[in-house]
Amino acid sequence: MTKKRQILVIGHNTNGCTPDHEKAAYDVGVEVAKSNSVLITGGLGGVMTAASHGAKDAGGLTVGIIPQDDASLANEYCDVVIPTGMGLTRDYLNALSADGVIIVGGGSGTLSEVCASYMHKKPMVAIRNLNGPISKYIDDYIDHRKNVKIIGVDNAKEAVKKILELITA
């Protein structure tokens, strides 16, 4: 049996998540499901809920790795909930669980997951024009180590297509 690809989608939680973020995340979730990959998120609100909702609507499998120790706090679209009780340290679990990462906007928590993914050389794709601290790193590296370039794309379909190319390269 072949392991399914695991794609982490990260971005704004409920606070700061705009309708544009939600639409992009929902569409990414749909495309992840259509690619027969497993969707991983931080399992909470905003981008995480929208991506999980899209994947569920498209018949995909969703995993939420939440910072709390209570599984009931995950969003309703998570098939599998991993309650870590680790707080924000769970960002490393998210990064290490992924074969590739898709970034949909985000704030400092998203940047933390980006840095964890970067340090572990996970392929990353970011949707352009959604603002946030990651914007200045799109089509560039986080630092002088040049571990992985964050590839910019314009929409959800391109994001999933590109991350799958990067994972299989």
Cα–Cα distances in angstroms (integers) from residue 116 to residues 36, 53, 151, in the given order? 25, 25, 16
Angle of helix 156-168 relative to helix 19-34, nearest 10 degrees, comes to 50
User: pLDDT-based confidence at 127, cuts 50/70/90?
Assistant: very high
**Which residue, 57, 82, 1, 134, is CA-closest to 153?**
134
pLDDT digits (tens, 9 = 90+) for 142-159: 999 999 999 999 999 999
Which conformational region is residue 75 in: left (phi greater than 0), alpha (psi within -120 to 50 degrees), or beta?
Answer: beta
Which token pair is 103? 């970034």
For domain 6-168, the CATH architecture is: 3-Layer(aba) Sandwich (3.40)
Distance CA 37, CA 58 (A): 12
pLDDT digits (tens, 9 = 90+) for 49-95: 999 999 999 999 999 999 999 999 999 999 999 999 999 999 999 99
SS3 content of the chain, % helix, strand, coil (to 5): 40, 20, 40
